[in-house]
Amino acid sequence: MAHIEKRGSNYLIRVSVGYDSKGKKITRSTTYRPEYTTATGKAKADSVIEKEVRRFADDFEKSVKSGESATGGNIKFDALVTRYLEEYAFIKLSQATAEGYQAHLMKKIIPAFGHVKICDLCRQQLEIQKFYNQMAKPGSNGETMAASTIRRSIAVFSSVMQWAVDMQLIPSNPLTRVRPPRKAYQAERPKSFTIEELNRFIGALDMPQVADYRAHTCRKKDGNVYYVPAYTESRRVSEQFKLFYIMAAFSGCRRGELIALDWSDVDLSAGTISISKSASKTASGIILKETKTSSGIRTIHMPDSVMELARKWKLHQKEMRVSLGSAWKGIDNVFCQADGSRMYPDTVTAKFKDIIRNYNAQCAPDDRLPDISLHGLRHTAASVLINQHTDIATVSKRLGHSRTSVTLDIYTHAIQEADKAAASLLDSIAKSAGI
């Protein structure tokens, strides 16, 4: 029979399930807090409460002995996360993904739920739902969290709790019943350049990159301090950065896929690039991993003008390698740092933002470029192809999507725009026919 012990307003329920190899009794426990008042607000009689507690204890004992009740629910969520990362995430997931999960859990989820026992979390779907509803509201700076970020947060939280279910620590995953706020359900239109904006961006790659520096003081190695007056510096976008952004816009490749390119993946004669891996930044440096899906392994035909840029950069890179001699660290990297080692993904992202910012500071207000993300060049490639009536299967294969339905879901807006253009063309034909 289950042992019942009153602790304050709660009841501790213990059930014996036998003995271990050393003769130590094995018990399973849970806590129960009964309702002390009726629906009308009247205090319940002690005998009624005792019956409710006994009924709960009997049900718990039955579920434990039948194997239906998961064990280990008294672990707090922050402790569960530690075990999840060590025993699952950093073993089963890629290092970059695991590190991303870890950062999000530590920054967002643990501050809110780290102190809660996971058995209690199973009964706090409403609190978890309120947590995500709050995420969708404007913060102190007036900005709202992106819907994709909220959905990803739910997925990360759910992954931890589902692992606890799989390990039989809890009976169910409460995140399966949590829904993203309404805003998070709305399809997000990918931010991309129009054809006209893409042309302006390519032009911006040839513009001087102007940077203003404020007056400041510097300290030499010997400790002497000297004054540096304010000055303006003008630089040009390097050949490899120009190649990277143009290749991204015309191939539709992801950032990591381009960073991972070796010259052996580039066939200058055939005008193709072969995608088979992706680069990710981790705490230990840049690592290469397989593409997201098997469909991500693909060969992409590139425009001749883009391949000509690649030829020029390869020649320049060879000159750099010869000049550095033994100091050159790279082997075959297409996109590299000054010493030849593979380019950091964050470098091309930061430079992309600088180029747009620089162009917008110098152009007429009506010609300014939208502040899209670097990933927006991938969306640009897809949108341009769709607007030029390229069949969706070809677009999907070029992007490395596993199914054409994925492409259709993501680029609904571009397909609708292409359909409008088709209707306009048909209208002109109808009018010329006298309709």
Q: What gap in Å lies between CA 44 and CA 52, rounded to an integer?
A: 11
Q: What gap in Å lies between CA 431 and CA 265, rounded to an integer?
A: 50
pLDDT of residue 158: 95
> Which positions ≥6 away from 381 have C-beta within 8 Å?
248, 249, 250, 251, 252, 398, 399
Residue 28: strand pairing partners: 15
Backbone angles phi, psi at 388, to 5 degrees: -95, 15
Q: How many CB atoms are located within 10 Å of the residue 285 CB? A: 10
Instruction: Provide the Cα torsion 81, 83, 84, 88; round to 10°.
Output: 160
Q: What gap in Å lies between CA 103 and CA 390, rounded to an integer?
A: 40
The ranges assigned to domains in the chain are 3-66, 77-185, 195-419
For residues 411 and 386, is the Cβ–Cβ distance under 8 A?
yes
pLDDT of residue 155: 95
Percent over 90 (pLDDT), the chain: 50
Q: Is a pLDDT exceeding 80 seen at residue 18?
A: no
pLDDT of residue 188: 56
Average pLDDT over residues 133-141: 83
**Would the CA dihedral through 281, 283, 289, 295 be positive or negative?**
negative
Q: Is a pLDDT exceeding 80 seen at residue 425?
A: no
Higher local confidence (pLDDT), 137 or 241? 241
Between 269-283, 351-365, 384-398, 418-432, the lowest mean confidence (pLDDT) is in: 418-432
Q: Is a pLDDT exceeding 70 seen at residue 63?
A: yes
For residues 144 and 89, is the Cβ–Cβ distance under 8 A?
no
CATH architecture of 195-419: Orthogonal Bundle (1.10)
How far, in Å, are 19, 153, 159, 228, 233 from residue 273 at the CA level? 63, 34, 35, 46, 35
Reported confidence tier of residue 66, pLDDT bands at 50, 70, 90:
low
Residue 277: strand pairing partners: 290
Between 66-75, 92-101, 117-126, 244-253, the lowest mean confidence (pLDDT) is in: 66-75
Question: What does the pLDDT look like over 165-176, one tens digit per residue?
Answer: 888 888 889 999
pTM, two decimal places: 0.68
Q: What gap in Å lies between CA 392 and CA 407, rounded to an integer?
A: 7
Average pLDDT over residues 42-63: 88
Longest alpha-carbon distance in the chain:
96
Average pLDDT over residues 246-251: 96
Reported confidence tier of residue 294, pLDDT bands at 50, 70, 90:
confident
Average pLDDT, the chain: 88
Q: What gap in Å lies between CA 328 and CA 341, rounded to an integer?
A: 8
Average pLDDT over residues 392-400: 92
Average pLDDT over residues 49-67: 82
Between 146-155, 238-247, 336-345, the lowest mean confidence (pLDDT) is in: 146-155
Name the class of domain 77-185.
mainly alpha
pLDDT of residue 17: 73
Q: Is a pLDDT exceeding 90 seen at residue 309?
A: yes
Reported confidence tier of residue 163, pLDDT bands at 50, 70, 90:
very high
Q: Is a pLDDT exceeding 60 seen at residue 69?
A: no
- The reply to whether 195-419 shares the fold of 77-185 is no
Structure tokens at 131: 């947590």
Question: What does the pLDDT look like over 177-236, one tens digit per residue?
Answer: 898 887 655 555 558 999 999 999 999 999 988 877 788 888 888 888 888 888 888 888
Indicate the DSSP class of residue 289.
E
pLDDT of residue 252: 94
